[in-house]
Amino acid sequence: MKVIVIGNGMVGFKFCEKILTRGIPDLQLSVFGEEMLPAYDRVHLSEYFAGKSAYDLSMAPVQWYADNGITLHLGDPVLEIDRGKKVIRSFKGVEESYDYLVFATGSSSFVPRIAGTDKEGVFVYRTLEDLNLIARHAPNCRSAAVIGGGLLGLEAAKAMLDLGIQDTHVVEFAPRLMPRQIDDKGSAILRRQLEEMGITVHTNRNTAAILGNASITGMIFTDGTILAVDMLVISAGIKPRDELAASCDLDLGPRGGIVVNDSMQTNDPSIYAIGECAVHQGAVYGLVAPGYEMAEIVAEGLAGRVKTFSAFDMSTKLKLLGVDVASFGNPFADEEARSIVFEDNAKGIYKRINISSDGKRLLGGILVGDASEYNMLLQTCRNALTLPPSPEALILPRGEGKSSASGVAALPDDAVICSCEGVTKGAICAKTLEGNETVDALKKCTGAGTGCGGCVPMVKDLMVHTLKANGKYVRNVLCEHFAYSRQELFDLIKIHQLQTFDEVLDKLGKGHGCEICKPAIASVLASLWADMILEKGNDTAQDTNDRFLANIQKGGTYSVVPRIPGGEITPDKLIRLGEVAKKYHLYTKITGGQRIDMFGAHVGDLPFIWSELIAAGFESGHAYGKALRTVKSCVGSTWCRFGLHDSVSYAIRVEERYRGLRAPYKIKSAVSGCIRECAEAQSKDFGIIATEKGWNLYVCGNGGSKPQHALLLASDIDSETCIRYIDRFLMFYIRTADQLTRTATWLNKMEGGIDYLRNVVVHDSLGMAEQWEREMQALVDSYRCEWKAAIENPEIRKRFAHFVNAPEEKDPTVRFDELRGHKKAADWK
């Protein structure tokens, strides 16, 4: 059977994957794609600007097609189809006959009829090529607008922010953002969140024309107002790519798109259409899951089995600029439905569920700001599960002890968990029982979670639930070389008094280590014995930053961060930093932790830079380590008219106590001199705030990608008690956390939460307090500056060279560019 696929997008690719598994004899498969790249993940397109490469986004390498016997023609669109002779002809002149033809031509951006869309600086947002054009234009832009406040439009707005354009606008014709998915209230919350990020939202705006001569200078709306912008991205919807279908007289829908029946057949029975180019019962589906379902139906059809497509659920969950947005089932209430709404304006959360009038069934809903219940709600809705007597509990914030895993047990076996790949609960549980006991293994054998990835937490819950239900102990192991968790390894290394990575591997592991276990164990060794991390042969077990005691940056140079305890520094030391930076041509920047970072140091210059810094009285800042970073402080009572205590002195004391301490992940701290909290202590792993009577100690806060406020551990305590509590808290964390787990995540996973932690640290419920304080004191006493040790040891010092056989030469491939009179690393090639 000879099958030709026109189009190599996500759905076209998925069709190839599916048809290969149907065991069709003598299958000959050819694919013609218009783009130069093989199919890539368009759903995560905006991550291209956040650092992902075309490689990262690709669905499968070119080699995959060859390995599976598929003839792939890239950069070669099909131009003609002779339906009588069943032959196609391509742009490059390839002529091929077919038994079956599958249109997977996708869609292009719908560009509204506005005068001036041909001006320079006006783009659409659809392909990697579009993104490259946008990226090339962006450096000259200070402002940008996006037409379209739907899913794609907001993705495009994120891309503008990722490209560094501060002044970004979203222009929507409808009265609210995402009009098809969410209601007015949800939209208002989303809008507020976006505006906090610096995006200006204009609703009820109809663009009349684009201004400017050759290049865009702005846009004018039908109400006469003008918005000045340097760039415009149009993302106002999609238009099925049906021009080829039209040229060979296939039936098209009234608003475009190739008309198909329930088997995805066009009016020519040997021609199919799938994905965004197809119109089924008047609807074009602009999501990937229905496209994959269509691919499945054609694959089944060609294998001689009958499967039909019916109206597809358009439930969706995404993260738009860090804000969760989800809608499922029928998001808008009908006459016979009742709605329950939960709103928290302070946190930016809006949740709404629509319930049948008898209160028994969930019909649909909307989640903005927190979509953690999405998977469970979607399953409840799809499988028509009976609702509990008080359904509001489904969306109210979680109380203690209620876990989402309890919910998966109630699902029927045929509940579809992964809608991208159509994987059911039954399949996941069965594969778990066959021995696929990790999420990665389940992804591989079932395909679940390999599409949008939204169901991965539920796949994990199902796996854990299945293992537990079958009496299996769920092991948390480090990697293929160690069948222990980090906590178990910590205890074993201590009991056996192991000193080096090799000893640990010989005694407790197998094989020869890897990039996961090496740094994790090197960190445990440093936490336990406080040896200089580059001694005893442990240097090559360190991750690169620890190995060179500096942070590797784009281009392969390093950044240098001396410790500036509490952010206090004398003018003389500031001058010395400036002199050193000048001498070694370093880019300087103030860090978020009140220090000074110096970028662009060649590896061979590091010992020389540090010799000068140490002579000037500086020491390592451990910015490269999973270790204490900074203890930030406000100016406190020495100068501030509101300050209650001397926060700077206390911050310096705390920073000098814990400097160099190695932990499962980086640790940050801060001290504020009063409740105004200028040092932002509640966003730190441990934060201290002055009160009238002493200090309040907060723990397990986090900035970063998942911000979380620290929780109050103890209040109105004196300076000595506070230090003792921090000693115990840190030792407990270092001893029990998984590798690369911040204190916030560690606490979130802890049974009993903050109350349990308080019992352990404050009330000494484990009887460990004295031992932990003693162990911490031993670590404090054994502190020495790693950089001082490194430059004094000739064996260690000689490793700081780019070429082993030409140690004085620098890496000639290092390149810098200029920006605002400073240097910067050259962009990724």
Partner 1 sequence: MTAKIAVTWVKACRVEDVPINGGVCVKLGEEQIALFYFTRRNEWFATQNECPHRRQMALSRGMIGTAGDTPKVACPFHKKTFSLVTGECLNGEECTIRIYPVRVDEGVVFIGI
d(CA 620, CA 629): 10
Whose Cβ is closer to partner 1: residue 513's or residue 636's?
513
- Nearest distance from residue 535's CB to partner 1, in Å? 12
518 touches partner 1 by CB under 8 A: yes
| Secondary structure of 142-207 as H, E, C letters | CEEEEECCCHHHHHHHHHHHHCCCCEEEEECCCCCCCCCCCCHHHHHHHHHHHHHCCEEEECCCCE
- Nearest distance from residue 607's CB to partner 1, in Å? 16
Q: Among the candidate windows 248-256, 532-540, 711-719, 760-768, which touches partner 1 by CB under 8 A?
A: 532-540
d(CA 89, CA 248): 12
271-290 mask for partner 1 (x: CB under 8 A)?
--------------------
At a CB cut-off of 8 Å and minimum separation 6, what does 594 contact?
A: 564, 566, 567, 630, 632, 633
Q: Among the candidate windows 20-28, 348-356, 367-375, 536-544, which touches partner 1 by CB under 8 A?
A: 536-544
DSSP state for residue 683 in the 8-state scheme: G
d(CA 281, CA 293): 16
370 touches partner 1 by CB under 8 A: no
- Nearest distance from residue 480's CB to partner 1, in Å? 7
DSSP-based three-state secondary structure for 824: strand
495 touches partner 1 by CB under 8 A: no
- Nearest distance from residue 812's CB to partner 1, in Å? 8
At a CB cut-off of 8 Å and minimum separation 6, what does 189 contact?
A: 343, 345, 348, 349, 350, 368, 369
Question: Would you call 612 exposed, middle or buried from its count of C-beta atoms within 10 A (0-12, 13-18, 19+)?
Answer: middle
**∠74-80-85 over CA atoms, to 5°?**
115
Among 461, 539, 775, 786, the residue binding partner 1 under the rule CB under 8 A is 539
Classify the C-alpha dihedral 74-77-78-79 as positive or negative.
negative
d(CA 610, CA 793): 13
Q: Among the candidate windows 79-87, 229-237, 351-359, 550-558, which touches partner 1 by CB under 8 A?
A: 550-558
Retrieve residue 825's tokens: 């690393």
Whose Cβ is closer to partner 1: residue 80's or residue 817's?
817
d(CA 21, CA 31): 17
d(CA 542, CA 14): 41
Among 799, 816, 823, 824, the residue binding partner 1 under the rule CB under 8 A is 799
Among 469, 514, 574, 819, the residue binding partner 1 under the rule CB under 8 A is 514
515 touches partner 1 by CB under 8 A: yes
Among 214, 346, 495, 804, the residue binding partner 1 under the rule CB under 8 A is 804
555 touches partner 1 by CB under 8 A: yes
- Show contacts with partner 1 in window 457-486 (CB under 8 A): 480-481
Cα-to-chain-centroid distance, residue 576: 39
Q: Among the candidate windows 181-189, 199-207, 612-620, 808-816, which touches partner 1 by CB under 8 A?
A: 808-816
d(CA 417, CA 462): 10
- Nearest distance from residue 512's CB to partner 1, in Å? 4
Whose Cβ is closer to partner 1: residue 319's or residue 444's?
444
364 touches partner 1 by CB under 8 A: no
Say if CB 441 and CB 449 are below 8 A apart.
no
Whose Cβ is closer to partner 1: residue 17's or residue 680's?
17
Say if CB 563 and CB 656 are below 8 A apart.
no
- 103, containing H or E segment: strand 100-103
Half-sphere exposure of residue 645: CA atoms within 13 angstroms, side-chain side: 22
- Nearest distance from residue 462's CB to partner 1, in Å? 25
Say if CB 387 and CB 403 are below 8 A apart.
no
Whose Cβ is closer to partner 1: residue 283's or residue 552's?
552
782 touches partner 1 by CB under 8 A: no
705 touches partner 1 by CB under 8 A: no
Half-sphere exposure of residue 105: CA atoms within 13 angstroms, side-chain side: 26
802 touches partner 1 by CB under 8 A: yes
Whose Cβ is closer to partner 1: residue 505's or residue 723's?
505
556 touches partner 1 by CB under 8 A: yes
541 touches partner 1 by CB under 8 A: yes
- Show contacts with partner 1 in window 642-681 (CB under 8 A): none
Instruction: Annotate 767-788 with b (16+ C-beta within 10 A) or e (fewer).
Output: ebbeebbebbeebbeeeebbbe
**Please, what is the angle between helix 501-508 and helix 517-529, to 10°?**
110
Whose Cβ is closer to partner 1: residue 65's or residue 285's?
65
552 touches partner 1 by CB under 8 A: yes
- Nearest distance from residue 791's CB to partner 1, in Å? 18
DSSP state for residue 283 in the 8-state scheme: B
Total residues interacting with partner 1, rule: CB under 8 A: 41
Strands (DSSP E) along 359-409, which ranges? 362-368
Whose Cβ is closer to partner 1: residue 65's or residue 374's?
65
Whose Cβ is closer to partner 1: residue 67's or residue 80's?
67
- Nearest distance from residue 440's CB to partner 1, in Å? 12
511 touches partner 1 by CB under 8 A: yes
544 touches partner 1 by CB under 8 A: yes
519 touches partner 1 by CB under 8 A: yes
Whose Cβ is closer to partner 1: residue 515's or residue 718's?
515
815 touches partner 1 by CB under 8 A: no
Say if CB 660 and CB 783 are below 8 A apart.
yes
67 touches partner 1 by CB under 8 A: no
Whose Cβ is closer to partner 1: residue 473's or residue 828's?
828
Say if CB 783 and CB 659 are below 8 A apart.
yes
Whose Cβ is closer to partner 1: residue 132's or residue 267's?
132
DSSP-based three-state secondary structure for 469: helix
Among 213, 570, 705, 805, the residue binding partner 1 under the rule CB under 8 A is 805
Strands (DSSP E) along 513-672, which ranges? 551-552, 558-560, 587-590, 596-601, 628-633, 667-672
26-65 mask for partner 1 (x: CB under 8 A)?
---------------------------x-x-----xxx--
806 touches partner 1 by CB under 8 A: yes
Q: How many residues does the chain have?
A: 829
- Nearest distance from residue 702's CB to partner 1, in Å? 23
- Which residues contribute to the site for partner 1 (CB under 8 A)? 53, 55, 61-63, 480-481, 502, 505, 511-515, 517-519, 537, 539-541, 543-544, 547-548, 552, 554-556, 799, 802-806, 809, 811, 813-814, 828-829
